[in-house]
Amino acid sequence: MRIITYYPNRNHDGLIKRIEKIGEKTSEYYENRDDKVVARTVTFVKDKAESVNTAKNYFYDDNHVGKVKILKMNQQWERSKQMPAKEQIAKMSVDFEKERVSVFYHMEEGEIEPLKKEYARDKILGYGKIDAS
């Protein structure tokens, strides 16, 4: 395991900590970002079979263990007080194994369960792309 802690003003992207569980997971934590991102994680496994890159499999060459298959990616955002909680995404999770995207929304004070929406990954591919024309 490797933990790297940065001075808050060191990185222009607000990165303050990176935790690597070598061969399994990488987590990054942020503060003071304009887009309100506070954390990102990627979970992966060393690819035992020589799989072919397909639309359902994503690979990354890790510096420590070589080729790894990405299983899941998460991103978390802090809440802005200027908007209602239920209109703000708290966490988005992309599960490549189950081909699902889960979106959790922030909660108002006193609520005990967040609003959650799930989507089939193939149904929303391309929605986040910006038309350059």
Q: Is the pLDDT of residue 126 over 80?
A: no
| Residue 94: predicted pLDDT | 92
Report the predicted TM-score, pTM, of the whole model to 2 decimal places: 0.81
- Kindly write down the DSSP assignment for every residue of 17-63, as one continuous string: EEEEETTTEEEEEE-S-TT-EEEEEEEEEE--S-PPPBTTB-EEEET
| Domain boundaries defined on the chain | 2-124
| Residue 48: predicted pLDDT | 62
Q: Which two tokens stand for residue 106?
A: 């922030």
Q: Is the pLDDT of residue 130 over 80?
A: no
Rank 42-46, 50-54, 59-63, 129-133 by mean pLDDT and report only the highest: 42-46
Q: What share of the chain is helix, strand, coil (3-state, %, to 5)?
A: 5, 45, 45
CB 96 within 8 A of CB 71: yes
| Residue 55: predicted pLDDT | 52
The residues with which 28 forms a beta bridge, in sequence order, are 18, 40
Q: Element (H or E) spanning 124, and its range? A: helix 121-124
